[in-house]
Structures are given as C-alpha cells and as structure tokens.
C-alpha cells in the first residue's frame, strides 16, 4: 500500500472541475433509478486508494447499513482529477474530499458541499526519521522537505518555521512526485507530510521511528477537516432524503468502527485484501479515538473550523478574500441521523 499523499490527486484541479461541472450529467440516485431489488443505486468516489479513512463506508456496505437505508452503494476509486470532479458533474452522488479542496472548488463556482467530517481533527503533520534530529519546526532549517508542490503545503511549512523563530528560506522544498514519503526518507529527503494514523504505523512496521509535528499543535486555524464526505448542491437541495439515508448509514459504519476497531479492520481487509493487515489494524486502533473525538456526534462540523481555516487561507493569499465558508458545509444530515437510524 502506497503512502503517497492523497491530496496530490486533487489539489488545484479546478480547471478540470469547472469543465466537468459545466457538462454535468443528470443526477442519479432518484427513485426512478431503483434497481430490481428496490434499492437506489448510489456511487461513492474515494479520494485515494482504500484506507482506514474509508472504513466506515466499507463497514456500512458489509453490515448492510446502506441496504437498510434503501441504497445500493458502489464505492469507486477517483480519476486523476479527484473525487470532486465526479461529484461536481453529478456522475457520483457522494465522495471523499478535504476542507481545502471544497474551499478552492467553491471559490471557482464548483457546486460541492461538505456533508460530514470523517475525522474530527487534523491528524496530519511534518515527520522526519529520528536520526535527522528534527524535533521542532525551527529544526527544519538546513534540511530537505519532500512534498507535492501545492501552495497550501508551502505556506503551512513556512508559517510553522517562521512561527518557531526559524527562516523558511533555509528549508529546501522539493517535489517528490508520487514517491512514497517513507521511501523518500531512505533516498533524498529529511522531512515529509504524513497522516499520523496511516503513515506512522507503516513506518513503525518497517522499523523506522519518526519524529512528528502535527500542524494543529502550532495554530488552531490549521486544525481543519481532512477528510470530509461531500455531495453536490443539487443532491442536497433536491434529494435530501437520499443524502439523509447515505449519511445515516455512514454514521452507523463509523460508529461501528469506533466501538469495534479490530472487527472494522477485518471488514475493510475482507473487501480490500491487498492492504497491509498489520498497518490497517494499528491505524484502526488509532482512528477509533479520532473519528469523533470531542465532537457531539460523528461527522459534526464546527463553524470555527471552517471560518478559521478560511481566514488563514485568505491571509496567506491561497484564496481570494470574502469566501462564503458557511455555505460550504452543512450539519443538516448528521443532525438528522437520530430520526433515521
């Protein structure tokens, strides 16, 4: 299983999103599309190859939660330009994305909406092998960071180094393309962006101990939602029952993963047998405490997270001023779960 960063697929793919949105196909998932067994076909497009961020969806599929809601769900992997393109075009009703991608897409009039936070807090950060001696952002000076060249990535790296009293110009930033960060550590980089719940267990399994600085520990605004479940504005406005049924089943799936991490890991592995079983089980144990964390319910999204990160993106010239963050997400369906489950 690769540890390549999923954001590389989708960040800044706005031109292609616009093109697809402009030639949107008719929305599927309506009652007219019901299959012979009476279930409504629904397509969910992932952000990357299957991993433990998606466990709740696979649990919902295996345990019949989607079927109980009248849905015949197909989980598919994303095209080159990401899940947002298929969801924006109406070719998929739901998908997995990130707060930053939803923000950038909506600034370009691409009509996608976040309908649930998969993980309550940002679990990503900058990691380095312990033999590099990097224990804080100022230590990044004089070292090589390997990333994927997005403006957000560079801005966050510079902000952390400067905020810790360092000089960002003394950090060499190289694009490692699709090379695994763990592999790149053994080649030519000192520092890379990882997800604590996925990359760290793999590194440990390979005997590589890492130092990690989670970005959320250095600025509250960097505790954004990554990943999120998305739909498009047409589904949210015109097919709210469909969205409610999907979110209800997904909630049941992630709740099961929180309460039964070992069994949830096995259900994911049964459906995606090429994954690394040891990594999946370790990751699932970690995420059991992170999916909901301190949120009032799984999937809930807070105003301050959307407003705070949007302001940070504006202040760092990643997006234009005046972004309407309040329209980019909804808790309508997460809050409606109790009535549907």
Q: What is the C-alpha to C-alpha distance for residues 213 and 140, in angstroms, rounded to an integer?
A: 11
The span from the CA of 105 to the CA of 18, in Å, is: 8
pLDDT at 34: 66
pTM value surpassing 0.75 = yes
pLDDT value at residue 151: 81
User: Phi, psi (5° rounding) for residue 332?
Assistant: -55, -45
Query: Has residue 10 got a pLDDT over 50?
Result: no
pLDDT digits (tens, 9 = 90+) for 200-225: 999 999 999 999 999 999 999 999 99
Q: What residue segments make up the domains of the chain, in order of their start? A: 40-121+225-327, 124-222
Which stretches of the chain are DSSP H helices?
Answer: 7-10, 14-22, 55-62, 65-68, 83-89, 99-107, 151-163, 181-185, 199-205, 233-238, 240-259, 261-271, 277-287, 303-315, 337-340
Residue 150 — pLDDT band, cuts 50, 70, 90?
Answer: confident
User: Nearest-CA neighbor of 56 among 313, 326, 284?
Assistant: 284
| DSSP state at residue 319 | S
Rg over alpha carbons for the chain, rounded to the nearest Å, is 20
**pLDDT for 77:** 93
The answer on pLDDT for 4 being more than 60 is no
User: What is the full DSSP assignment across 90-101?
Assistant: TSSSEEEE-HHH
Tokens of 256: 């099961």
The burial class, CB within 10 Å (0-12 / 13-18 / 19+), for 340 is middle
CA–CA dist 208, 260 (Å, integer): 28
- Asked whether this chain's domains 40-121+225-327 and 124-222 adopt the same fold, the reply is yes
For residue 93, the Cα-to-chain-centroid distance in whole angstroms is: 17
Selection from 19-23, 46-50, 181-185, 264-268 with the highest mean pLDDT: 264-268
The answer, yes or no, to whether residue 11 has pLDDT greater than 60, is no
Domain range 124-222, its CATH number among 3.90.1150.10, 3.30.10.20, 3.40.190.10, 3.40.50.300: 3.40.190.10
Please report, to the nearest 10 degrees, the dihedral formed by the alpha carbons of residues 335, 308, 90, 332 taken in order. 10
Q: Please give the order of strands across the beta sheet that includes 191-195.
A: 172-175, 144-147, 191-195, 124-129, 210-214
Rounded to 5 degrees, φ, ψ at 143 are -115, 170
Q: Give the three-class secondary structure for 28.
A: coil
Q: What is the pLDDT, as a whole number, of residue 340?
A: 57
Neighbouring-strand partners of residue 126: 193, 213
Write out pLDDT tens, residues 260-287. 999 999 999 999 999 999 999 999 999 9
More confident residue, 17 or 121: 121
- The pLDDT of residue 171 is 97
Tell me what percent of the residues of the chain surpass a pLDDT of 70: 89
CATH assignment of 40-121+225-327? 3.40.190.10
């Amino acid at each position: 299983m690769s540890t390549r960063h999923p954001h590389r697929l989708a960040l800044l793919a706005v031109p292609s999103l616009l093109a697809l949105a402009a030639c949107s196909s008719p929305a599927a998932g309506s009652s007219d599309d019901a299959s012979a067994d009476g279930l409504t076909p629904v397509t969910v497009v992932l952000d990357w190859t299957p991993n433990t961020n998606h466990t709740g969806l696979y649990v919902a599929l295996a345990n019949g939660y989607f079927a109980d809601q009248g849905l015949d769900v197909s989980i598919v992997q994303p095209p080159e330009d990401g899940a947002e393109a298929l969801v924006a075009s109406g070719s998929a009703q739901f998908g997995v994305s990130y707060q930053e991608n939803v923000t950038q897409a909506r600034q370009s009039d691409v009509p996608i909406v976040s309908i649930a936070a998969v993980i309550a807090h940002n679990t990503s950060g900058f990691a380095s092998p312990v033999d590099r001696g990097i224990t804080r952002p100022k230590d990044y000076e004089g070292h090589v960071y390997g990333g994927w060249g997005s403006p957000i990535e560079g801005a966050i790296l510079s902000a952390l180094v400067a905020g810790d009293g360092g000089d960002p110009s003394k950090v060499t930033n190289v694009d490692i393309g699709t090379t695994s960060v763990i592999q790149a550590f053994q080649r030519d980089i000192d520092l890379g962006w990882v997800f604590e719940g996925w990359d760290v267990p793999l590194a440990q399994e390979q005997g590589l101990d890492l130092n990690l600085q989670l970005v959320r520990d250095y600025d509250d605004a960097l505790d954004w939602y990554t990943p999120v479940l998305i739909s498009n504005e047409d589904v949210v406005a015109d097919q709210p029952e469909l969205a409610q049924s999907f979110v209800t089943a997904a909630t049941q799936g992630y709740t099961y993963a929180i309460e039964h991490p070992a069994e949830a890991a096995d259900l994911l592995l049964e459906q995606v047998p090429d994954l690394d079983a040891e990594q999946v089980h370790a990751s699932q144990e970690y995420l059991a405490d992170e999916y909901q964390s301190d949120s009032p319910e799984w999937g809930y999204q807070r105003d301050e997270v959307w407003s705070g990160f949007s302001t940070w993106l504006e202040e760092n010239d990643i997006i234009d001023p005046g972004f309407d963050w309040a329209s980019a997400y909804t808790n309508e369906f997460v809050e409606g779960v109790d009535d549907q489950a």
